[in-house]
Structure 1
Amino acid sequence: MNIAYSSCPNDTFVFHAWAHGLLPEAPKLNVTYADIDKTNQWAMNKEGPEIMKISFGALPWVLDDYNLIPCGGALGRGCGPLVLLKDQSENPASLSGKKVAVPSERSTAYLLFRLWAAQNVPDGLGEIVVLPFNEIMPAVRDGKIDAGLVIHEARFTYQHYNLCLMADLGEWWEKDTGLPIPLGAIIARRSLNVDDVTKWIRKSVQYAWSNPAESDAYVMEHAQEMSAEVAKQHIDLYVNKFTEDLGEEGYAAVRALLGRAAKEGLVPSISGGSL
C-alpha cells in the first residue's frame, strides 16, 4: 500500500510503526515524503498514492474521490499559523495593500489568514505570493516581502530571524470559535476500506505513544537539521487526542472552518453528508 506524508516530526512519529512493519496485521507500506502543498495538488489531480496527508483547506476539492480518515491528522490548540513582520506592529490594518507570502493557497493556514484578514484588514491585502514555508522567514527578514504567514516549527524559531509577531491565527480562531484548529487531514481513495485504514493508522498512533523512543532515529533522520528539542516540541504540539480520533469536536472544527471559508468564496461548499 502506498502513502505520502511529510518529513515533519509529527508525521514520522505517527507513521513510524506502520512504515517499519511493526503492525503485524497491516499491509506493507511504501512511503513517499512530500510537502503538503504537493500532496494537495496530487489529490486534486487524482494522482499520487492511495493514502495521503493533505491540508484540511484542500478537502472540499477532493471528497468526491477520497474519504477523510478520522485519525492520523493534525488538529489542536495553541498550534496555529503566525503572521510575522520585520518590524513590530500590532495594527493589522497596516497590512492593507502589502505583499504577503504564504506557504500555499490550498491550506488551512491560508484560509485562517484570509478569514482573519477579512475581519481585521478593512482595506484589503495586496499581492499574495506563494513560497516554500522554509523560504518565508528569510524573505521577510531580507525585506523581499512585507509579511509572512508561517507554519510548522517556525512557531519556535522565528525569533532567530529577528522577526516580530503580528498575529497568532490559532489564538484568534480559538477565541472566535472555541474550537481547535484543523490543520492536516489523512485521506484515502474511496476504493479502500475506510475501517481498515482507520484501524492501521490508529494502531500506529497508539504504538508511537506506547513506545515513544523507538521512533527517535526515524524522526531525526527526516527532521531537516532540526534539533531534537524542537522535534519533540513539534510532536508534543501536533500529536494529541485528535490524532487518535477526530471525535465530535474535531469534526465540528472542520465544518466550522470550511463552512466559513465557503461563505467567503474561498472553497467550494461541502454537503452535510460528506463529513
Structure 2
Amino acid sequence: MKLTLGFSPCPNDTFIFDALIHHKIDTEGIEFEVSFDDVETLNQKALKAELDITKLSFHAYAYVHEQYVILDAGSALGFGVGPLLICKNQHVANNLDPELLVGIPGLYTTANFLLGIAYPQLGNKKELLFSDIESSLLDDKIDIGLIIHENRFTYEGKGLHKIIDLGSYWETLTGCAIPLGGIVINRSLDPNVQHKVNRLLRKSVEYAFANPKSGLDFIKSNAQEMNEEVMYKHIDLYVNDYSINLGIEGRKAINVMFKIAEQKGIISPLKTDIFLMPLS
C-alpha cells in the first residue's frame, strides 16, 4: 500500500520522520511517497486535500477538519516554543501602529492566528516564506516580522529585536501548551490504516529519541540552518512527549485553541470529532 505524505524540511519534522521513511522501523507493508514543503504550502495542499497524510498548522486544520483527522503522534506542542514578533528598530516596539507592515509566514499558520488574538489591530500583513522574514526586515521591506522555527535562534545574531514572545502570551492567557502543528490523515482511509499510520509514526518518534544522531545527515541536508547545535536546539524545542502522544493535556490545548478561535469569530464552529477515534 502506498500513501502520500507531506512534511516540512525543518529539523523537527525530519527528525520525526527519518526512521519512518528510511525503513529504520518496520512500516508493515506501507510505502510513503514523500513531498517536502514549507508549512504554509502544506496548509494550502491540505485545503485541497492533496495528500493522504500531512503536517499542517493547527490554525489551518480548522478549515479542513471534515477531510482530515488529527493523529496522536507527531505533533508540535509545548511551552516556550511559540512564534516571536520581532523588529529591526526598537522604537517600533513601543508603538505598534496599525499601518505597520507585518511579514507573516502564512495566512493559515498558527503564528498568524496568535498574532490576530494578541494584536488584532495589526492587519496590514505580507505573506512571506518563513526563512525570508529576517532578511526582509533587515532590508526594510517590512516593519515587523513574525518568525517561527529555527529563526528564533538566529534573529538576535543579526541585530534584530524581540517585541513579544507570542507563545508566552498564549501560556499566560490559557495555561496550556501552545499547539503549533499536527499530523493529520485523510478520513476516507480505512480506520485500521489510520491507526496503523499513527502507530508507525509513534515508533518513528521513539526511534529518533533512542537514536538522536541516526538521522543527522538527513536532517542537515534539509535544514535552512546548517549549524548542528542550532538544529538540535530546534529539535529539543519542538519534539517532546506530545510528539509521541498528544495525551489528555495535548488534546485539551488544541480544543482550547479552537474554542477561543470560535469565540473571537476567527473560525466557524467545528462540525465533527477532530481526534483519532478508538477502533470499535
Same fold (TM > 0.5):
yes
Partner of 1:128: 125
Equivalence for 1:145: 142
Superposition RMSD on alpha carbons, in Å? 1.6
Residues 21 and 28, structure 1, Cα contact 8 Å, conserved in 2: no
Q: 1:184 aligns with which of 181, 184, 198?
A: 181
Say which is worse superposed, 189-198 or 11-20, in terms of deviation.
189-198
For residue 112 of structure 1, what is the aligned residue in structure 2?
A: 114
Post-superposition offset of 1:114: 0.7
The equivalent of 1:247 in structure 2 is 247
* 1:162 to partner: Cα distance: 1.0
User: 2:96 is paired with a residue of what secondary structure?
Assistant: helix
1:23 pairs with one of 25, 47, 56: 25
User: 5+ unaligned residues in a row in structure 1: which ranges?
Assistant: 119-123
Displaced runs of 4 or more, over 4 A: 89-93
Following superposition, the deviation at residue 126 of structure 1 comes to 4.5
Q: 1:177 to 1:66 in 2, by over 3 A?
A: same
How far apart, in 2, do the equivalents of 1:126 and 1:65 lie? 29
Length-normalised TM-score, structure 2: 0.91
Q: Deviations over 1:216-273 (max 9, x none)?
A: 1111111134211110001000000100011111111111112212222222221473
In structure 2, the residue matched to 1:121 is: none
In the TM superposition, residue 99 of structure 1 has moved relative to its aligned partner by 1.1
Report SS of the residue matched to 2:85. Answer: strand
- The Cα shift of 1:71 comes to 1.1
In structure 2, distance between residues paired with 1:24 and 1:67: 24
1:100–1:145 Cα contact (<8 Å) kept: yes
Contact 1:138 1:161 in 2 (8 A): no
Q: Distance in 1 between matches of 2:132 and 2:213?
A: 31
What pairs with 1:51-130 in structure 2 (closer than 5 Å)? 51-89=53-91, 93-118=95-120, 124-130=121-127
Write the deviation string for residues 112-134 of structure 1: whole angstroms up to 9, x where unpaired. Answer: 1110114xxxxx22511111111
Aligned residues, how many? 269
Residue 278 of structure 2: aligned partner = none
**Higher mean C-alpha displacement, 219-228 vs 245-254:** 219-228
Listed as ranges, the gaps of 5+ residues in structure 2 are 276-280
Counterpart of 1:253, as a letter, is A
Query: 8 Å contact 1:89–1:166 — kept in the other structure?
Result: no
Instruction: Call closer, same or farther: CA 1:126–1:198 in 2, change over 3 Å.
Output: closer
Q: For 1:170, give the aligned amino acid.
A: G
* 8 Å CA contact 1:15, 1:204 repeated in 2: yes
Q: Distance in 2 between matches of 1:179 and 1:262?
A: 17
Question: CA contact under 8 A between 2:87 and 2:93: conserved in structure 1?
Answer: no
**Residue 34 of structure 1 aligns with which residue?**
37
TM-aligned CA distance change 1:63 to 1:153, over 3 Å: same
The residue number in structure 1 matching 2:208 is 208
Amino acid at match of 1:46: A
Distance in 1 between residues matched to 2:110 and 2:130, nearest whole Å: 14
> Contact (CA 8 Å) 2:86, 2:161: kept in 1 or not?
yes
Structure-1-length-normalised TM-score: 0.93
| Whole-angstrom CA distance in 1 between matches of 2:263 and 2:170 | 16
Aligned runs of 1:212-227 on 2, under 5 Å? 212-227=212-227
Cα distance in 2 for partners of 1:163, 1:91 equals 12
Secondary structure, aligned partner of 1:61 = coil
Aligned mate of 2:46, from 43, 47, 63: 43
| CA distance 1:127–1:25, change in 2 (3 Å) | closer
Q: Per-residue displacement from partner, 1:20-56 (whole Å, max 9, x unpaired)?
A: 0122243222211111111111111122x21100110
Q: Distance in 2 between matches of 1:101 and 1:149?
A: 6
